[in-house]
Chains A and B, each alone.
Chain A
Amino acid sequence: MIVAEQKSLEEIRRMIAPYPRVLILGCGTCMTVCNAGGESEVSFLHNSLRLAEVRSGDGIHTFTEHTVKRQCDPEFLETLSEKTIDVDVILSLGCGIGVQAIAEYLGDIPVLPGVNTSFMGMTKESGVWDERCAACGECRLEDTGGICPITRCTKGILNGPCAGSKNGKCEANKDVDCAWILIYKRLERLQQLDKMRRYYSPRNFRAIPRPRRILSKVEIATGESDG
C-alpha cells in the first residue's frame, strides 16, 4: 500500500487560508490503513482546524467532511459533484495520486494536498510502516531472496554489500538493517547463494519513462453480463 503522513496543522492552515468553505476529503483505502487520511483522521482534522480557528479568533472557515472509497479511481468519485456545490476548496487526505485524480475529475475547484505521500510499504507492527518497493518496473526479488536491494539498500546497489555495513546495519543509519546482509542470509538459508555470486548489470532506468501507463492485458467483458 501507499504510506503517507499528514501535514502539520500549521501548513494545512496556511494552505486553506484564502478559501472560506473547505471540504476535507478522506480516502478509504491506503490512507485509512496508514492512519493518515481515513474517515477518522478526517473527522479529527476537522475538529482540530475548528478548534484552532476558535483559539486564534480569526475564523472565516466552514468545514464539511466526506470520505470516498478510493480517491484514485473515478468510479468512486461520482458522489463528489453534490458534495462540492458550496465548497471553495478541497483539502484531500488522499495520497498524491488521489489529489491529482480529484483535480482531474473536478476542473474548477482547487485541490490541496493534506498529506505528504512517502512510500510504498507494509505494516510492520501496529503504527509502524516500512518502505519495501520503489516501483522500479523490473522486479528482481527472484534473485535476491525476496528482499529488495533497490528499496532497502540506501545506495540501491545490485552486486552485494558495500564496505560500510557493520553489525549487520547500514552505514547510513545504524538502526536500519543492511539489505545485502539480509539478502545474503536469506539466500544462504534457501541454498541459493549462487544467485548472489552472479553479476548483475546496471539497471535500465528506461523501464520507467515518466509518466508510465499500464494497459490491462486482460480482456474485460463489458455489457453482456449485466443483470
Chain B
Amino acid sequence: MANSLFEEKLNSGEFIVTTEVGPPKSVDVSEVVHHIKLLKDKVDAINITDHQSSVMRFPSIGGCLLVKELGGEPILQMTCRDRNRLALQAELLLAYSRDIKNVLCLTGDSVDVGDHKEAKPVFDLDSVQLIKMIRTLESGTDMGGNELGAAPKFCIGATVHPEADFIEPQLIKFDKKVNAGAQFLQTQGIFELASLRRFMQYASQFNIKILAGLIVLSSAGMARYMNNNVPGIIISQAIIDEMASVEKGKGLQKGIEIATRMIKTIKEENLCHGVHIMAVGNESIVPDILEAAELVSTPG
C-alpha cells in the first residue's frame, strides 16, 4: 500500500508534477503561505527547501508543516550539512508523526557558498548514507542499533545531475542511491534535453521514477550568475543567448516559455516520469507554466 498521497501518484504511472517553495529569512511566512495555497492543488507535491545554497532560513520541516496545515502534500528536503545523525533521525521522527512522509535526501551545498561561511560543516552522513539510515529506521531500529517504539515509513527521493560535465562518477553515485532505496529522483536543473535523453537511456534499467528538474530563468544575467555561483548548475550558451535575445523586462516571460517548451517535449516524448519545476523566487508563475504546458494535475 502506498505510504503517502505522493507515493500513490508515483505508483499510478501518471505524469508527475512537483514544484518547490523556498522559505524566507523571516518569521513572517505569509508569502510562503500564499505560494503554497496557489500551488497545492495544481501539483502532486511541494518540496520545501532546506537552507538552499547554505543560506540560513525558516526550516524545511516548518514549511512542510505549513503545507500540511493548508491541505497540500509536502516533500521534506533534508541535507546532511547542518545536522549529525542524532538530529537527522530525530527530525524524521517528528516529520512522520506529523504525517510528513516524503523525504528528499541530499548531501547539501557546501557551507562556503552560503551566508554563514564560518559555520561548522557537519556532513556526518552523505546522501547515500541518509537514504540507508531512513530504511534502517523503517526496519524498527535507529542507527545506534536501538529499537524504536514504533517505526516510520517514508517515500524516499534523491537527486541526480544528468548534465554534470563529468557524468561517470555521478552515475556511480546514482546507482548507490537507487540501491540504498531511493524511490524517486528529482534531477538538478536541466537545460538540454539531449542530456536527459542520454541519462534516461541509462536510468530506465532501474525501477525508479525520474522527475526532470526545470529551473525557470528570469534573465540572462541570472543565468550567468547561476552558472558561476550555484553549485551543480550548468546552463548552456544556447539558453543564455535565448534569454539575452529578449528586451529588458521580458526575461521571466522568456524563462516561462523555455520551461514550458521543455515540459511539453518531455511529456510528448515520454522522456521521463514527470517534472520538478523550480521557479527560484518566482513561485507565483508556476501555475502559468502548468497551464501553458497543459498540465492540470490533481493530487492523489
Residues of A whose CB lies within 8 Å of any CB of B are: 154-168, 170-173, 180-181, 184, 193, 196-197, 199-203, 205
Contacts and interface: CB of A to CB of B under 8 A. Distances in A.
Nearest to A166: B165
A162 B170 CA distance: 8
27 contacts: A154-B121, A155-B126, A157-B123, A158-B126, A159-B127, A159-B176, A160-B173, A161-B170, A162-B107, A164-B109, A164-B113, A165-B166, A166-B164, A171-B110, A171-B231, A171-B232, A172-B110, A172-B111, A181-B169, A184-B169, A193-B172, A199-B128, A199-B176, A199-B180, A200-B129, A202-B85, A205-B124
Interface string B116-147: 00000101111111001100000000010000
Interface residues of B, number: 39
A217 to B, nearest CB: 30
A217 B46 CA distance: 58
B175 A184 contact: no
B240 to A, nearest CB: 16
A172 B85 CA distance: 23
A200 to B, nearest CB: 8
Contacts of A199: 128, 132, 176, 179-180
B161 interface: yes
A200 B127 CA distance: 12
Contacts of B125: 202
A193 to B, nearest CB: 8
A155 B123 contact: yes
Given A158-B126, A196-B172, 12 more contacts: A159-B128, A159-B129, A161-B169, A162-B232, A163-B188, A166-B231, A171-B110, A172-B111, A193-B172, A196-B169, A197-B172, A199-B128
Contacts of B268: none
A162 B79 CA distance: 12
A180 to B, nearest CB: 6
Contacts of B188: 163
B169 A163 contact: no
A159 B164 CA distance: 17
Contact of B110 (A155, A166, A168, A202): A155
B113 A197 contact: no
B112 interface: yes
A193 B85 CA distance: 29
A181 B127 CA distance: 17
A155 B112 CA distance: 10
Interface in B224-248: 231-232, 234
A199 B178 CA distance: 12
B126 A157 contact: yes
Contacts of A164: 109-110, 113, 231-232
B109 A160 contact: no
A205 B125 CA distance: 11
B47 interface: no
B168 interface: yes
A155 B107 CA distance: 9
Contacts of B113: 164, 171-172
B218 interface: no
A184 B165 CA distance: 14
A163 B232 contact: yes
B234 A163 contact: no
A167 B175 CA distance: 22
A188 B161 CA distance: 21
Contacts of A161: 169-170, 173
B129 A163 contact: no
A164 to B, nearest CB: 3
B260 interface: no
A160 B176 CA distance: 9
Residue among A155, A168, A180, A205 facing the most chain B CB atoms (10 A cut-off): A155
Given A161-B170, A171-B113, A199-B180, A156 B232 contact: no
